[in-house]
Chains A and B, each alone.
Chain A
Amino acid sequence: MDLHIVEVSHTFPGRLTREALYKVSLEVPSGEFLAIIGPSGCGKSTLLRLIVNQIVPSAGKIRIDGKTPAEVVAERRMAWMAQSPALLPWLTVEGNVQLALKFHSPERPPSLTAREALRLVGLEDVAAAYPKMLSGGMQQRLALARTLVMDAGLWLMDEPFAALDELTRERLTHELGEIWYQLRPTVLWVTHNIYEALRLADRILVFSPHPGRVVGDLHVDIPRPRQESDAGFQFMLSHIRQILSQYDNQGGNHGINN
């Protein structure tokens, strides 16, 4: 699914009025893996929430395949994944995936069964276990299996692996890359880890501190699988750091892992 964002701004109302996004425009072609990187509080998450229709923008226009976010959510063609795996503790691992299948668009038959999705993420052996019995990495794998069965064309991922330990995160990032390569959904991946972004994405968007604006839009033309030791990788890395360093004097490194 392609995504078309025109001059979207968002201000959170209330006593502490806070401008989260300022005139963000963006074109994401179908099947692209877009990483969004930027300091903490730069409105990256807000952008995803606007796209998934959890909040309505103060100004600007969002279209997905020519439709409004509300229409696309109603057609169940977007999948949402966040830092919290958001599992239902009273359902088994398989039950959690089956629940997602209940919300699959009734117009198309699901392409995967719960079992098949669990096999894809390597959780088939623990299908009968309960989420509390799983490690953090396994819980996020389960959330990923749940995303898979939805057959969504647009995946909105808000730092889904940020709470995991480094090794698990690296492995899951790699697995996500492979699954994306097979299914080719359009992915918007919010992260504050430049390495992760460089390993996975076709394109990286760099946001300024708040109010978030797009200050860098880079195509990553490094062949996959990508190695940190590649000259191209190192070049992009230093380029992104350079963009971000312009904002460093505005208050530290803003929580960027560089």
Chain B
Amino acid sequence: MVSTTESSADKIQKGSTLSAWVLVLFFFVLWEAIVRLVNVPVYILPAPSVVFLTIAKNISTYANGTLLTVGEAVLGLLLGMIAGTLLASLLVFYPKLEGGVMTLAILMKSTPLVAIAPLLTLWLGFGIMPKIIITALMTFFPVLVNVLVGLQKVDPALIDLFRSWHASRSQIFFHLRIPSSLPNLFAAIKISAPLALIGAVVAEWTGASGGLGKTMWLAYTNLNLPFLFAAIFILAAIGILIYWLLIRLESWIIFWQLDTQNL
């Protein structure tokens, strides 16, 4: 029978979000208390209040840096996503290529990308290009593997049905394989998004004209710990925000899957 999906799941969700915030708050209070009671010097561990004050005082520096770093990460993420999805689609149509391409992709994945970041900076300069390439490379592999599995693992009963309709391979691809693989694409993006942020920051460490990574590097060389922590706080917040946005987007786009999982 037709049922509505209003359930206790939402309440549980809200409850766990609340308890997470309480824990974070508790963590900050504890941290603040320890720093003040033990008199930890600021060049070892600044109190959270000092870090938040640093952000407030330098808000434009951090805003610009955040914009640049997040921009690089998002562009790289999109590039890696598009490349991974296109290659996975190609492998569905030409399955003979799968062995060779996957071996290459695994080789590429096994190379520590952080190690080639300085090289890209040397070749391409301090602009955003090397950062985008690094984040794209980090995103590419999870997307390729996940989307390929999603495109291949379609319900055989549905394939039988489409065959009985005399559907062409491309019709099966667009009507069946693409929508079936969307949950896998989201799984891949949820893995890749934090990686993309790491990729952008690490690439900035190797030389950049701006961005949070550059700010961190400057703070580190000057032993300015409040400045360094401020960047870390912002990165953590962005990571959480991106993940939250992705979950929202996921439940909106692939509603047919989440419906039952939440019940």
Contact = CB atoms under 8 A, between A and B. Distances in A.
B165 A76 contact: yes
Contacts of A134: 1-2
A88 B3 contact: no
B240 interface: no
Contacts of B167: 103
A167 interface: no
A89 B256 contact: yes
A130 B179 CA distance: 15
A73 interface: yes
A13 to B, nearest CB: 19
Nearest to A73: B166
A84 B179 CA distance: 19
Contacts of A130: 255-256, 259
A74 interface: yes
Interface in A73-108: 73-74, 76, 78-80, 82, 84, 86, 88-90, 99-100, 103
Interface residues of B, number: 23
A78 B179 contact: no
Contact of B2 (A80, A88, A103, A129): A129
Contacts of B6: none
Given A74-B166, A103-B165, A134-B2, A80 B160 contact: yes
A132 B157 contact: no
B150 to A, nearest CB: 13
A166 B165 CA distance: 30
A54 interface: yes
B256 A82 contact: no
B50 interface: no
Interface in B232-263: 254-257, 259-260
Interface in B174-220: 175-176, 179
A135 B260 contact: no
A56 interface: no
A126 interface: yes
A52 interface: yes
B179 A90 contact: yes
A86 B157 CA distance: 6
Given A80-B160, A86-B158, A86-B160, A103 B166 contact: yes
Contact of B1 (A52, A76, A86, A135): A135
B38 interface: no
A88 B176 contact: yes
B13 interface: no
A54 B164 CA distance: 8
A243 interface: no
B157 A82 contact: yes
A133 interface: yes
A133 B3 CA distance: 6
B260 to A, nearest CB: 6
Given A73-B164, A82-B160, A132 B2 contact: no
B165 A86 contact: no
Given A82-B157, A126-B2, A76 B166 contact: yes
Contacts of B158: 86, 88
B90 to A, nearest CB: 24
A135 B1 CA distance: 5
Contacts of A76: 165-166
Contact of B164 (A79, A84, A90, A132): A79
Contact of A78 (B2, B164, B171): B164
Given A90-B255, A156-B164, 13 more contacts: A73-B164, A73-B166, A76-B166, A82-B161, A86-B161, A90-B179, A90-B256, A103-B165, A130-B256, A130-B259, A132-B256, A135-B1, A138-B1
Q: Which 8 A-B pairs rank lowest in CB-CB distance, beginning with the nearest?
A: A80-B164, A103-B165, A89-B256, A84-B157, A86-B157, A86-B161, A90-B256, A90-B179
12 contacts: A52-B163, A54-B163, A73-B163, A73-B164, A82-B161, A84-B155, A99-B175, A103-B165, A129-B2, A130-B255, A134-B1, A150-B165
